[in-house]
Structure 1
Amino acid sequence: MIEKLEALLNTSAPKINFTNKQVDFMLKNIGNTNPYIRDNLVYTLFATGFMNSAFTLVQQKHIIDYFFNNDLLFKDILEPQSDYVLIRSFSALLGAIILECDDDACILNDNQRQELFKWSIQYLKLENDYRSFVTDKGWAHAIAHGSDFLGSSLSHTKFHLTNVNDLFITLQKVINRLETPFLDIEEARLASALKLGVQAENMSVEDFIKGIQYVDKELWQQYDAAILNTCYRLNAWIHILHHWLIFFSNDTKIKTIPKQKLDYYYNKMGYNF
């Protein structure tokens, strides 16, 4: 089967076709501990298949039903670190692919769509395995992949958020679980997800600014220079603010807020500028 999937990946044909057995193999290997199978083959072929309409309608429905019916996204999510993070993390990427395809071609019914929107927030709220690159198993990177999933929700043309506070409470929870610094630019992926929501006008500028004010206040209230994890958390927040400053560099109203927060941070830390 690996050889057949490699042939699909490397073909020069203008359009590829999947057998049902190939689709089933891909679904069952979303979280394979072999990074070549999981990332290079399975994830890449899912992305290619959806982006190029290479799956039949029956296969497409089977993939979506499998995603919903097999608890992939929340598999042992409250348990200690384990290989199940690979299933969760790469299922988050599959969720992002499905939503992006749905935004173009409406492949979901409304109940499924709303469920994915809800799950994209809930997943980040619950995920506690913060490993990025795992020796011999490749990228887990659950927070980054969860951020990509959230970004696909927030940028979707049919996304509607009834409680913006919940989104920033989730962001605060992600940061507050840090016991060591992020290692692989997870802050950029988190910042990008919320940026997409603002750019798609699924989140108002006013609500975005209120959310920044809320998270900033919460992190400063817990900050204690003698307690390392509070330093790591504040530092992650500073990185997110930096990314927003760049992402919204042409939006005077928005960029003023992260700049104010960053100015306060540097003054508080004794930097002269």
Structure 2
Amino acid sequence: MKEILEKKLESNEHYSTEQINWLLDHIGDPDPIIRDQLVYASFCHLFLDEIISKDQAQQLFEQSQQRQLLSQDSLTRSFASLLYALIIAIDEDHPHYQNFLTNSQLQILFEQALDIFTFENDWRGYDENLGWIHAGAHGADFLLAATCHQAFPADKFEQAWQALIDCCLKQNSTFSAGEETRLAQIPVYLILNQKVSASTLATWMEQLDVPNQEPVEYFRWLNIQRFLSSIYFQLKSHQALAPEVEQAIEKQIRLY
């Protein structure tokens, strides 16, 4: 099957149900070549090159939910997050698949995205044998796609912000692979897409009260500092850094 699917990446051939199921079976394969270069690449090929039909896309989504991929091992959870980020983005923007998900299916994905860091306990970025695990970054990609979708409930933006803070504060060490940059993209795009006002974001930042006396607390505080700094520089690069957000970030950093 591996060889067949590798060849399909170079063509626009139809994928059978058996082949799509094999991809789902191996979404968390411990071999990074299979997991990254074959399975995830195949999912991108299926959607971005319009290989898969809308009916097949529905079946793929339903199968993924039935398998409870987000409740499996670290690699499966992490790469299921990437798959769901892709699916949400495709539903939002791709003309061939736009609105292929039902509203109830979207709401399921939104809730899963909001909870993605609640149950995660493996924060490794890169492993010498397994390659990229990166559950923190992939979870951020999932939540970013969810909050950018037009159907994401406006009354849950603050919950998304809190999920990011909780992620930073769950760590027992500092982020090791740029996770803070991926996390920061979520509030940045809430601002850029005018879904949250600068004053609202500034208020959320002003409410932060992070201790840093004990070693573990200090690592978590550093993660918050890096997260806020990334928001600062990303907004600045987009020329969207409002004075109240700038002041709120500077105040948090000056506090220590």
TM over 0.5: yes
Q: Call closer, same or farther: CA 1:72–1:218 in 2, change over 3 Å.
A: same
**Structure 1 equivalent of residue 52 of structure 2:** 55
TM-score when normalising by structure 2: 0.90
Instruction: State which of 84, 93, 99 in structure 1 corresponds to 2:88.
Output: 99
Which of 71, 76, 80 is 1:74 aligned to? 71
Residue 200 of structure 1 deviates from its aligned partner by 2.1
Residue 123 of structure 1, aligned match among 96, 99, 116: 116
Would you say how many aligned residue pairs link Structure 1 and Structure 2? 250
TM-score by length of 1: 0.85
Cα 1:125/1:194, change in 2 over 3 Å: farther
60, 75, 88: which one pairs with 1:86? 75
Q: Is 1:245 equivalent to 2:236 in the alignment?
A: no
Say whether the 8 Å CA contact 2:140–2:186 is kept in structure 1.
yes
- Write out aligned runs for 1:103-182 (5 A): 103-104=92-93, 105-182=98-175
Distance 1:61 1:43 in 2: 18
2:209 counterpart letter in structure 1: E
Q: Which runs of 5+ in 2 are unaligned?
A: none
Give the C-alpha shift of residue 252 in structure 1.
4.2
1:28 aligns with 2:28: no
Q: Secondary structure at the match of 1:162?
A: helix
Further displaced range: 122-131 or 192-201: 192-201
Correspondence for 2:2: 2
* Code of the aligned partner of 2:194: E
Shift of 1:125: 2.5
Structure 1, unaligned runs of 5 or more = 76-83
| Amino acid paired to 1:58 | D
Q: Percent identity?
A: 25
Distance 1:16 1:232 in 2: 49
Q: Which residue of 2 aligns with 1:230?
A: 217
With over 3 angstroms needed to count, the CA separation of the structure-2 counterparts of 1:125 and 1:198, relative to structure 1, is: farther
**One-letter amino acid of the structure 1 residue matched with residue 134 of structure 2:** H
2:187: which partner in 1? 194
**Match for 2:245 among 248, 253, 257?**
257
1:259 CA drift (Å): 5.0
Pick which of 152-161 and 198-207 moved more: 198-207
User: How far is 1:35 from its partner?
Assistant: 0.8
Q: CA deviation at 1:120?
A: 0.5
Q: What value does the CA root-mean-square deviation take over the aligned residues?
A: 1.8
Equivalent residue letter for 1:92:
S
Determine if contact 1:245/1:259 at 8 Å carries over to the other structure.
no
CA shift digits 1:2-42 (9 cap, x unpaired): 11111122x2x4x3421222111101111111111111100
Aligned to 1:78: none
Post-superposition offset of 1:263: 5.8
